[in-house]
Structures are given as structure tokens and as C-alpha cells.
Amino acid sequence: MARYIRYLKNRIRLNRRTFILYTVLRALVLFCMIRQIFVRNYEGVGICLLSLLLFLAPSFMEDNLEIEIPPLFEGIIYLFIFAAEILGEVDNFYTNLPGWDTMLHTINGFLCAAVGFSLIDLLNRHSKRIQLSPLYLCLVAFCFSMTVGVCWEFIECAGDLFFGQDMQKDFIVRQFQSVTLDPTHSQIPVAVKNIEKTVIYTASGKTYTISGGYLDIGILDTMKDLLVNFIGALVFSLFGYRYLKKAGKNPARYAKIAENLIVRAVDKNGKPVETVPVEEGDPLPEEAGEEKKASGQGMKTEEKGTEKKEEQRPAPDDEEKKERKWHLRRLDRKLVSSGHVLDFYHDVMELPDGKKEIWDFVAHRKKGGACVVPVLPDGKILLIRQFRPAIGRETLELPAGAKNSYEEDTAVTALRELEEETGYTCDQLTPLLKLQTAVAWCDESTEVYLAEPVEKKGVQQLDEAEEISLESYSPEELRRRIESGEIQDSKTVAGILAYLLEQKED
């Protein structure tokens, strides 16, 4: 238990708001438990202990399933547990506050759809053979949520039948229809309307009077719960579908919300696990190796000073060369080294003349990132100055950074990097251009956005290794610095020139 509490604290501290929320809710639960001890309500004490255990569930799942629950989703889970167990059961909100149970069942439908969506989405993104369409994925998420809702109604019914509870709340109705009252037993429903009072007589002689109508035992409550569960599941399923399709009038803000509701896979060190999809027609490394062994065809390679000679295919004739039209083909890909962000491969390439060569290839695990051109209200462009160890000197650059995950929208990346590196923000981002860092040997791409105008939001949120200062210049001054060679960073040069060209066209 102590292990999971330490793990939870470390994970929660990564997001201060979630940590504060968790701390406050846990303190309230402890206070409530002490109060229940004083009033000798030991059932309430048990519910409080259960709530404290349920608070550990997100961290337990993250640690054992190697997933990462986003802070917003995690916060909603904590609030749901507190509202259902402490406010609902201990403080009697279910009976004293109309609609409390309905609200929680709606949220439950939404949350369970999010869980189902995340489970299938993880499989969809990290499986080599399964690729479900957005519509099918959201349909499965919806069905998962409804299944959980139905199972919960089974639990409520069992609690009422076998444990003397009243989990399926009763409704007073003024009319009903029943074939039981048909004296002819012909399956004709007899309608009883305008019921004013129901009197119940027990075998022990007790009498119960229900004023205002007839007591419906749980059926309407069950149907109402399933209906609102349906609504919650449908809302998230539509939300998830739009997220997968990247729709919406404001993709940056929309995708940022979506990212906070989708569970991601992580490795044992807590880093996101991303896959680099193999393009259609390209063999997977293992499959390519097996094909090469089976065919007996190979090439001349040199590894660590050892030369391996294998049979070469005959050189193509002129007709074959003419048909190829200068086409390269990748036969195999071997992972040489794996880093935190980049993976280094050796590609076995077949040239148009039939010869084979080993080419270097660098794969960016998250397929790159985003860059933003922040324009201040006075028309100047905000830049950052930082030391770059790779070239051994300081550079003047536009704010930029890598995506947090393979599927993250680059507009979300751009907005986050702008806020973290400069402390500024912007309500709307406009795409300017897309760059490929090095088309010959790397698949990294950078999307450049225009943020105009930017406004101060807070302070910089820099990593421990970052030392960044802010500077601002007019567009013309930046053009001169580019021409003089002072600014050489490719994304910064491209972003500024693209902005100048857009201004000229306007």
C-alpha cells in the first residue's frame, strides 16, 4: 500500500492542480471518517475507507498496466468517487438532493465510454495487425459503457433481493397497466389510472399507506439510469469520433481537451510508448529478415570489420531498367540504436540497377513537433535565445518543441511550447507551413503556426536543463539578421520568411 501511495504522489505532483484536488478530497474523506466514528456510524466509516482505497485505483492501474491517465481524466475520477461515496452515501445526497443519482449515472456513462475508447485506441495504435475505423472504435466504446451500466443494474438488483437494500430507488406513480388484473387471462392490459392512495397490509398486521399514488419498485429507476448512461456514453463516443477525425472549428483547443481524456501507453520509466508505422508495401524488420533468409538472396555488408559475401542478383537488362523509371526499393530495415526520441536504422536499399546498399535512416518516435511565430500586439515577433550543445553556441529561435505523443495534434504542441517557453498564449493558431527536417535520412517534420496576437499568461515553465531568455524584433530586423547569417535555425528562418511573405501578400 505504501508503495502505491508513494507512486501516486510522484505521479500527481507532475500536475499541481490534480495533486491539490486529490489532497483536498482525501482530507475531506478523512474528516468525514472521523465524524462517522464519533457518531458511531460504522457503515459510514467503511464507505470512507473504501473511498480512500478507490483513490488509489488510478495509480494502481498506471503502475501495473503501464498506462498514463491524463490529469483531467484523473481529476474527474477522484471527483466522481467523492460525489458517489461520500456525498451520495454518507451525506445522503441520493435521497436529499433530487437528480444526484441521475447526474452520477450520466457521468458514469461518459467515463466508462472513455475507458472503453482508450482500451481499444491503445490496441488500435500499438498493434501491427489491427486497425479499426474511427466509427467502429467509437461503437465499441459505446457498447463497453452500456455493458458496464447494465452490470451495475444487476448489482443493484442483487443488493435489493438478497441483502435487503434499496439500491434501485422507488417511484410513486399515479397509473399503471398490468395483464395480471385481467380476469379473463387473455393478456389484455388493464389500466389503473388516477391512483390517489395505496394501502399495504402485511401478514404481521402492519399497515403502510402510500399517499399520492402507487409504489413502483425500481423499474423506472433502472430505466432512467440506463437512459442517462446511454446519453453519457453517446456524448463521449461522438466526442471521440470527432477527436479521431480531428474535426471542430478550433482544432488546437479541441484536441487539447481530447488529449486530456485519452489514456496512453507508457514504458516502465513512464515515457510514452509510440510506434513508427511501417508504410504500405514496406516489410517489417522481422518479416524482411525472414524473407531474406527464405529467398537466399542477400547483399555484401560490412559490420564491425567482418565482411559477409552473399550471392548477388543478376544485373537487370535495359528493358527492365526502362520499366523501373528510377525507382528505389527498401528490402530490409535493421534497428542499430534506440534513443529517447530518435531511433537509428540501417536500411537495405535496392537501386534501379539491381545493386544493394546500406543507407542510414533516423526515425523520430513522435514524427517531429511544432513551431510557432508569436506576434506581439505592437507587431514585433517574440523569439527565444538559448544555448545549443550540438553546435556549441547560443541561437535565436522561434518557440518550438516535440510532440508529447505520436498522435498529439501539432497545434496542441505549438500552444503548449509557446506557453512553457515564453509565458505567452494565443486564442487562435493559423497554420503557416510544414517542414521536413532532412528528407534524405530522417522522417521528422515540423509544422509552423502563426500566433497573432499573443498575450502574457504567466511565467515561463522551463525544464531543469533549459535556460531561455526572451527577445523581440520587428519582422524587417529579423529579415536582416537572417540575411547576415546571425539566424541560421532552419525552422526559424522558414517561419519568419513565411510570415513576411504572408504580410506582403496581404
Do the bridges between strand 207-211 and strand 197-201 make them parallel or antiparallel, or are there none, so unpaired?
Answer: antiparallel
Tell me what pLDDT residue 16 has: 73
Q: How does pLDDT run across 222-245, given as a tens digit for each residue?
A: 999 999 999 999 999 988 888 777
Contact status, residue 239 vs residue 223, Cβ threshold 8 Å: no
What is the strand order of the sheet 329-338 is part of?
A: 329-338, 342-350, 356-364
> Longest Cα pair distance anywhere in the chain, in angstroms?
106
Task: Record the cell numbers describing residue 89, joined without a space.
Answer: 452515501
Helix (H/G/I), strand (E/B), else coil: 497: helix
Please determine, for residue 467, whether its predicted confidence score (pLDDT) is greater than 60. yes
Determine the average pLDDT of the residues in 91-111: 93
Contact status, residue 402 vs residue 413, Cβ threshold 8 Å: yes
Please determine, for residue 279, whether its predicted confidence score (pLDDT) is greater than 50. no
Q: How does pLDDT run across 192-220, given as a tens digit for each residue?
A: 999 999 999 999 999 999 999 998 888 99
Q: How does pLDDT run across 145-154, given as a tens digit for each residue?
A: 999 999 999 9
Q: What distance in Å separates the CA atoms of residue 317 and residue 321, rounded to the nearest whole number?
A: 6
Contact status, residue 81 vs residue 75, Cβ threshold 8 Å: no
Most confident listed range (104-108, 404-408, 462-466):
104-108
Contact status, residue 328 vs residue 334, Cβ threshold 8 Å: no
Please determine, for residue 256, whether its predicted confidence score (pLDDT) is greater than 50. yes
Q: What distance in Å separates the CA atoms of residue 328 and residue 350, rounded to the nearest whole number?
A: 6
CATH class, domain 368-505, is alpha beta
Q: Higher model confidence: residue 303 or residue 193?
A: 193
Tell me what pLDDT residue 463 has: 77
Residue numbers annotated as active site: 464
Residue entry with cell 518557440:
399
Tell me what pLDDT residue 126 has: 64
Q: What distance in Å separates the CA atoms of residue 443 and residue 193, rounded to the nearest whole number?
A: 72
Determine the average pLDDT of the residues in 443-472: 89
Task: Record the cell numbers describing residue 359, joined without a space.
Answer: 543507407
Please determine, for residue 470, whether its predicted confidence score (pLDDT) is greater than 60. yes
Average pLDDT in the chain: 82
Determine the average pLDDT of the residues in 120-129: 71
Please determine, for residue 257, whether its predicted confidence score (pLDDT) is greater than 80. no
Distances in Å between the alpha carbon of 119 and those of 31, 69, 127? 36, 12, 12
∠ Cα 36 40 42 (to 5°): 70
Do the bridges between strand 67-68 and strand 264-265 make them parallel or antiparallel, or are there none, so unpaired?
Answer: antiparallel
Beta bridge partners of 264: 68
Please determine, for residue 247, whether its predicted confidence score (pLDDT) is greater than 90. no
Residue type, 227: L
Percentage, residues of the chain above pLDDT 90:
50
Tell me what pLDDT residue 289 has: 42
Distances in Å between the alpha carbon of 175 and those of 168, 192, 193, 194, 199? 20, 5, 4, 6, 15
Q: What distance in Å separates the CA atoms of residue 469 and residue 383, rounded to the nearest whole number?
A: 9
Determine the average pLDDT of the residues in 110-130: 80
3-state secondary structure 168-190: CCCEEECCEEEHHHCCCCCCCCE
Q: How does pLDDT run across 322-369, given as a tens digit for each residue?
A: 444 456 788 888 888 877 788 888 988 888 888 889 999 998 877 789
Please determine, for residue 315, whether its predicted confidence score (pLDDT) is greater than 70. no
Q: Please, which pLDDT band fits residue 7 given cuts at 50, 70 and 90?
A: low
Tell me what pLDDT residue 24 has: 93
CATH 3.90.79.10 residue window(s) in the chain: 368-505
Please determine, for residue 275, whether its predicted confidence score (pLDDT) is greater than 50. no
